[in-house]
Amino acid sequence: MTLQLPTGNAICYSGYRDGQSPDQRRYPSLAQIREDLQLLVPHWPLLRLYDCSPHAERVLQVIREDQLPLRVLLGAYLGAEASNPACPWGGLHDDTQLAANTRENAAELGRLIELARAHADIVFAVAVGNECTVDWTDHLVPVPRMVEYVRRVRTAVAQPVTFCENYVPWQDKLRALVAEVDFISLHTYPLWEYQSIERALAYTQANVDSVARLYPDQPVVITEAGWCTASNGRGMRAADANAQLQTRYVRELMDWSRESGRLCFVFEAFDEPWKGSPDPLEPEKHWGLYTVDRQPKPVVQALFPGFRPPDPITAPTPDPLPSLEPPA
């Protein structure tokens, strides 16, 4: 049977604002998530979520309670189960930490299965991990363990199962995993690879083709592609990180994905100040189509002429989920 994936504009959503962080277990409130989804729902019917934390639970709760026409690719975050000396920013972990991560990964997969079952009408697919096998990852999970995890989830949920990873490992390292997933999910970032804006879309297309031609019977989805708007020059040319080039790349990317019929999640909805180094120009912080204070960047108006923010939300706010914030 041919796999039928949804179509439409798709975007990666992580709603963390100033002072919030998954690392510190400080999550957006229901009201904040409701505000975000009201911004996104007119133009982005498909969302990607990265983990099964209270953030994801609250997103699914708001979608259901407000009856929003949104569907979700739900992910599970997997921590390191092996050290990675090749990671330039801290891939070494002691045995105690690795054992704790392995236990937490099992719990996270349990939450993924539970949420996918409880929200089967909203969650159209699930992703077992994110960038766990690429050479530079700080949360390395060996490929044989990834195979085990994907098999566990596939036997437990009705939705298609995937793994989200940079395009390079799919070319060879992940051949054993290709047979286990229902579709391949890859990431492509020409800006991180010092490509000019003139070459950016062609480079993205070449990345996708390098994987798709190896596995002609497997659907290939882009689960991250985007362009940041500020940089201190780490990992890219600082002059190329600006709103004008973001507008051009994202518009060309979406036009191509629409014309080719390839599902593509734009990275990402909102800037995330918690990411990367403390430097305000850390590029990890600036990939959003909206700023952290929910102001649209020029790309939004370019994609959706006449865009205006939605009216204030009047839906009642239900009782919140229990807080998991650490004690003071």
Q: Does pLDDT of 303 surpass 70?
A: yes
CB 288 within 8 A of CB 297: yes
Instruction: Please tell me the distance from the alpha carbon of residue 63 to that of residue 45, in angstroms, as a whole number.
Output: 11
Q: Kindly tell me the sign of the dihedral angle through the C-alpha atoms of 122, 126, 130, 131.
A: negative
What are the boundaries of each domain within the chain?
10-303
Mean pLDDT value across residues 119-145 = 98
Give the Cβ contact number of residue 152 at 10 Å.
Answer: 17
pLDDT tens digits, one per residue of 173-215: 999 999 999 999 999 999 999 999 999 999 999 999 999 999 9
Q: Does pLDDT of 311 surpass 80?
A: no
Range of weakest confidence among 10-14, 247-251, 295-299, 314-318: 314-318
Q: What is the pLDDT of residue 319?
A: 45
Q: Is 129 exposed, middle or buried (0-12, 13-18, 19+ CB in 10 A)?
A: buried
CATH code for 10-303?
A: 3.20.20.80
Q: Which one-letter amino acid corresponds to residue 328?
A: A
pLDDT tens digits, one per residue of 247-278: 999 999 999 999 999 999 999 999 999 999 99
Q: Does pLDDT of 318 surpass 90?
A: no
Q: Determine if the peptide bond prior to 268 is cis (ω within 30°).
A: yes
3-state secondary structure string, the chain? CCCCCCCCCEEECCCCCCCCECCCCECCCHHHHHHHHHHHCCCCCEEEECCCCHHHHHHHHHHHHCCCCCEEEEEECCCCCECCCCCCCCCCCCHHHHHHHHHHHHHHHHHHHHHHHHCCCCEEEEEEEECCCCCCCCCECCHHHHHHHHHHHHCCCCCCEEEEEEHHHHCCCCHHHHCCCCCEEEECCCHHHCCCHHHHHHHHHHHHHHHHCCCCCCCEEEEEECCCCCCCCCCCCHHHCCHHHHHHHHHHHHHHHHHHCCCEEECCCECCCCCCCCCCCCHHHCCCCECCCCCECHHHHHHCCCCCCCCCCCCCCCCCCCCCCCCC
pLDDT tier, 313 (very low <50, low <70, confident <90, very high otherwise): low
Q: Is 227 exposed, middle or buried (0-12, 13-18, 19+ CB in 10 A)?
A: buried
Q: Kindly tell me the sign of the dihedral angle through the C-alpha atoms of 218, 157, 187, 86.
A: negative
| Rg of the chain, C-alpha, whole Å | 19
Mean pLDDT value across residues 117-127 = 98
Q: Residue 55's closest CA among 5, 137, 102, 115?
A: 115
Q: What is the pLDDT of residue 312?
A: 60
pLDDT tens digits, one per residue of 40-82: 999 999 999 999 999 999 999 999 999 999 999 999 999 999 9
Q: Does pLDDT of 328 surpass 60?
A: no
Paired sense of beta strands 71-76 and 46-49, if any: parallel
Instruction: Please tell me the distance from the alpha carbon of residue 95 to that of residue 241, in angstroms, as a whole number.
Output: 39
Q: What is the pLDDT of residue 166?
A: 98
